[in-house]
Amino acid sequence: MILWELFHTFFIMGFVSFGGGYAMIPIIETAVSDYGWMTAERLTNMIAIAGMSPGPVAVNSAILVGYSAAGIKGALVSAAAILLPSLILVILVAALFIKLHHHPVVEKIFYGLKPLVTSLIIFAALKFALANNLITINISFRSVSLVIIFGLSLFALLKLRWNPVYVIVLSGLIGIALYS
């Protein structure tokens, strides 16, 4: 049952969702390929739309993957599944008056968790680069131009400090000019 697959994937993801949406891509990607919801290329498109939209990338990705896999019902189930852990944990933490912030055990956990979240994001970048032929031994107009687009995008984000939404829109226009 696809709705159940979506629910438990995003429900569990909600409990380990540290470090922002892009760190969650490996979990989504694993589930997408295990259950065969869609191709890696379409998943990248979904993540792109999630990144362009207002709201958290993890929640947006869940909504789009859910919609793509099972229509509006899938979107609703996935959104509820990823939000529910936040509700449970926040109520628990607030009700128990747990002082998580600056708690010694929490700080020790985060000492190892944060670098691992960084690994997760690097891993996501590698996977997507491979899936979208950014890392390839085939030298063609497309593969070279894609590497240039990648480099320019990173430059715009890191050095020019552009808003990611603008970078995506501009990249789309370049794509239309180059590949259509």
Partner 1 sequence: MKVKFQWKLLFQIFWSFFKISPVTFGGGFAMIPFIIKEIVEKRKWLTHEDITDVIALSQTVPGAVAVNSATFIGHRIGGIRGALAAMIGVSLPTFLIVLSLGISYFFVQDNPKLEAAFISIRATIVAIIVYAAIKIGKTAITDKTTFFIMTVGVPVLFFIHPIIAIFLGAITGLVAVKIKQKLGYTIDLQKSKNVDPTTDPDYFMGSGI
Q: Which of residues 23-62 bind partner 1 (CB under 8 A)?
A: 23, 25-27, 30, 41, 44-60
CB of 91 to partner 1, least distance (A): 6
Give the interface size with partner 1 as a residue count (CB under 8 A). Answer: 103
The CB-of-139 to partner 1 minimum distance in angstroms stands at 16
Site string for partner 1, 119-138 (x = CB under 8 A): xxxxxxxx-xx--x-x----
User: In the complex with partner 1, which residue's Cβ is closer, 35 or 151?
Assistant: 151
Kind and range of the H or E element at 52?
Answer: helix 40-52
Taking the complex as a whole, the smallest distance from the CB of residue 1 to partner 1 amounts, in Å, to: 21
Residue with tokens 């226009």: 173
Q: Terminus-to-terminus CA distance in the chain, angstroms? A: 39
- The pair of structure tokens assigned to 131 is 């899936």
Q: Which of 4, 35, 116, 144 binds partner 1 (CB under 8 A)?
A: 116
Q: Is 176 in the site for partner 1 (CB under 8 A)?
A: yes
Task: For residue 52, give both structure tokens.
Answer: 């362009």
Compare residues 4 and 102 and give the one whose CB is closer to partner 1.
Answer: 102
Give the DSSP per-residue string, 63-123: HHHHHHHHHHHHHHHHHHHHHHHHHHHHHHHHHTT---TT-HHHHHHHHHHHHHHHHHHHH
Q: Does 160 bind partner 1 (CB under 8 A)?
A: no
Which residue, 143, 153, 29, 175, is CA-closest to 135? Answer: 143
Residue 11 near partner 1 by CB under 8 A: no
115 is a site residue for partner 1 (CB under 8 A): yes
